[in-house]
Structure 1
Amino acid sequence: MSTSVLVEPVMEKSYAGVGRCKCSFWFAVAHDILGVLIMMVGVFGGLIIHDLFIYAGAIIIFLSLIWWVFWYSGNIDVPPEELEDDVGKMKLKNRRLSRVVRRVSSRLSSRIRDSLRRGDRNNSNPVNVGTEMGLSTIYNTTIQSPSREITRDTLSV
């Protein structure tokens, strides 16, 4: 017993005017206007601390760029064909490249891991465990640890 299901194509809603992210747009415009007003008070106000107002206005205008980036990135349209699931729907032309990159990455990480493991085995010296050792500083002086303190043994895995 099979039933047919009708799937209608999804049409994206077109946005007129400032786009989808109206809040980010108006925050950006408000920061720009506020920054210009504060800067103009510093330039034409005749105050003693005019440079403070000029710098504060410039900083507020600079921070409005954050809202402009939010607005712009929120209005980027991606076609539905490019919105694919990452798990099983890789494009054929990218499949070979991703296999090569994964293979190189796994080989490189296994080499690094093996070299670190070999380095730990060669550097672990059980003769020095529990003996008194000095600490060297950047001034080439040695500080001896008193024998009353607890000594820490290195753990080799």
Structure 2
Amino acid sequence: MSTSVQVEPVMEKSYEGVGRCKCSFWFAVAHDILGILIMMVGVFGGLVIHDLFIYAGAIIIFLSLIWWVFWYSGNIDVPPEELEDDVGMIKLRNKGLTQTVRRMSGRLSSRIRNSFRRNDRSFREDSNRPGAEVSLSTIYDNTFASATKDIYKETLSI
């Protein structure tokens, strides 16, 4: 005995008006209105420090762009087919190429990382060896070669 199950398609929630990010929208509008009011006080107020109000209004309007970007990027609709991640939803047709590119990039980054580690290790080993040559330079570009066993003293007169 078989039973049939009807599955209804999942519909996305429809947002009316300003979209999903209402807070970002209203913050942006509030910054714009506040910036315009402050700027108009500077232009038409007849104050001694009118330029301060003009610049402050312009800066507030400029900062409202941050909220507009948040609002816009929060309302971008991306279909679920394009929301693939590395956990297991990779398309089969791109699987071979993607794995090859990832493997090559992993090898390249590990080579670069290992080359920095090797250079750093060799520098530390050389500097800890007794009798290693160390070059010292001053702000006058005088270079002295000194062994770690010998102490070189130079008098400084001011």
TM-score by length of 2: 0.72
Deviation track 1:75-103 (CA, whole Å, cap 9, x = no partner) reads 11122333344301101343233223212
In the alignment, the residues of structure 1 paired with residue 85 and residue 110 of structure 2 have an alpha-carbon distance, to the nearest angstrom, of 29
2:155: which partner in 1?
none
- Distance in 1 (alpha carbons) for counterparts of 2:71 and 2:128: 65
* 1:48 aligns to 2:48 (yes or no): yes
**2:137 corresponds to which residue?**
136
Inter-partner Cα distance in structure 2 for 1:100 and 1:52: 58
Q: Which runs of 4+ in 1 moved over 4 A?
A: 2-6, 120-123, 130-135, 141-145
Q: How does 1:1-157 map to 2 (within 5 A)?
A: 7-120=7-120, 123=123, 124-125=125-126, 128-129=129-130, 135-140=136-141
Of stretches 49-58 and 125-134 in structure 1, the one that deviates more from structure 2 is 125-134
Structure-1 separation of matches of 2:56 and 2:138? 46
| C-alpha distance in 2 between matches for 1:127 and 1:18 | 66
Task: Tell me the alpha carbon deviations over residues 1-27 of structure 1, each in whole angstroms, 9 at most, x when there is no partner.
Answer: x98765432111111111111111111
Question: How many residues are aligned here?
Answer: 146
1:56 CA drift (Å): 0.2
Give me the whole-angstrom Cα distance separating, in 1, the residues matched to 2:133 and 2:101: 48
> Structure 1 residues 3 and 121, CA, compared in 2 at 3 Å: closer, same or farther?
farther
**Per the alignment, do residues 55 and 115 of structure 1 end up closer, same or farther by CA in structure 2, a change over 3 Å counting?**
same
Q: Return 63-72 or 81-90, whichever deviates more.
A: 81-90
Worse-superposed segment, 30-39 or 129-138? 129-138
- Identity, in percent, stands at 77
TM-score normalised to structure 1 length: 0.73
* Higher mean displacement: 135-144 or 90-99: 135-144
Amino acid at match of 1:125: D
Q: 1:50 to 1:117 in 2, by over 3 A?
A: closer
For 2:128 and 2:33, the matched residues in 1 are separated by 72
Separation in 1 of the partners of 2:101 and 2:79? 27
- Unpaired runs of 5+ residues, structure 2, are 152-158
Deviates more, 1:92-101 or 1:134-143: 134-143
Q: 1:118 to 1:3 in 2, by over 3 A?
A: farther
**More deviation, 23-32/81-90:** 81-90
